[in-house]
Amino acid sequence: MSISNNLLKIKSTLPEHVTLVAVSKTKPVSDLMEGYEAGQRIFGENKIQEMAEKWEQMPKDIQWHMIGHVQTNKVKFMAQFVSLIHGVDSLKLVQEINKQALKHNRIIDCLLQIHIAEEETKFGLDEEELASLLSSNEFQELKNIRIVGLMGMATFTDHKDQIKKEFTHLKSIFDQFTIHNSQFTILSMGMSGDYQLAIECGSTMVRIGSSIFGGRN
Ligand SMILES: *Cc1c(COP(=O)(O)O)cnc(C)c1O
């Protein structure tokens, strides 16, 4: 199967309210261009340097999503062009994104990452930290960052019940905060292995890499 075939096949199965982020990390520009020519305009990368290089080389109507963990000192390399940052999980990072967005006279959309997996290694806030971040004065003063929803990654496991439990938990947090925050519209959950389940649990944005571009080394 070609990249364009994979892409169109997956797109045809997604409900209309679900946005597809084509995760192109480690893949060459020629692969991304194949997706672009098949109509894809949203690409996800997990390294800022790599994303910036691809942004320079590719058509300017692409929306670039940063889906990886973001180091504060690298925000400046994407502030000019990034369309959505998925993995935001600290006030310090929020403040740096705001600062860099201001320099470019932009408002940058972000998702707060929530820790839902069992693994200790996955980044993210818990429910309490989310509430305290959103209600803090330091956060509310910021004018150049907009939190538009939440992102989460389930445990890497074959146990569907476990994954479903984690997605459902994230969805319930999302619903709870949507009530107080009308800008909360995006729930980013689901990857190649679990996106159908994520959609059943309420995802509005799926991040799919290997099912489109093939495996990575
Ligand atoms: C790599 C990655 C994906 C895509 O993973 P696939 O299993 O290849 O679909 C999704 N989300 C994040 C945060 C990733 O790092």
pLDDT digits (tens, 9 = 90+) for 36-48: 999 999 999 999 9
**From the CA of 61, how far away is ligand 1's center (Å)?**
23
User: pTM of the entire structure?
Assistant: 0.96
Mutation test residue for ligand 1: of 23, 25, 51, the one with most atoms within 8 Å of CB? 23
Mean pLDDT across 47-69: 98
**From the CA of 188, how far away is ligand 1's center (Å)?**
11
Domains of the chain: 3-212 (3.20.20.10)
Distance CA 11, CA 20 (A): 7
Ligand 1: does its nearest atom lie under 6 Å from the Cβ of 68? Answer: yes
Max Cα separation, the chain? 51
**From the CA of 164, how far away is ligand 1's center (Å)?**
17
**From the CA of 191, how far away is ligand 1's center (Å)?**
6
Mean pLDDT across 78-105: 98
> What pLDDT score was predicted for residue 40?
98
Average pLDDT, the chain: 96
Looking at the CA of residue 86, tell me the nearest atom of ligand 1.
13
Distance CA 161, CA 129 (A): 26
pLDDT of 135 above 80: yes
68, 47 in Cβ contact below 8 A? yes
Which of 63-77, 172-186, 192-206 shows the lowest per-residue confidence on average (mean pLDDT)?
Answer: 172-186
> What pLDDT score was predicted for residue 180?
82
Ligand 1: does its nearest atom lie under 6 Å from the Cβ of 205? Answer: no
Ligand 1: does its nearest atom lie under 6 Å from the Cβ of 203? Answer: no
pLDDT of 120 above 80: no
> What pLDDT score was predicted for residue 97?
98
- Strands (E) in the chain, as ranges, are 19-23, 42-45, 63-66, 84-88, 108-114, 145-152, 186-188, 205-208
pLDDT-based confidence at 122, cuts 50/70/90? low
Mean pLDDT across 128-145: 96
**From the CA of 157, how far away is ligand 1's center (Å)?**
14
Mean pLDDT across 74-93: 98
> What pLDDT score was predicted for residue 181?
85
Mean pLDDT across 75-80: 98
pLDDT of 142 above 90: yes
pLDDT of 121 above 80: no
**From the CA of 209, how far away is ligand 1's center (Å)?**
6
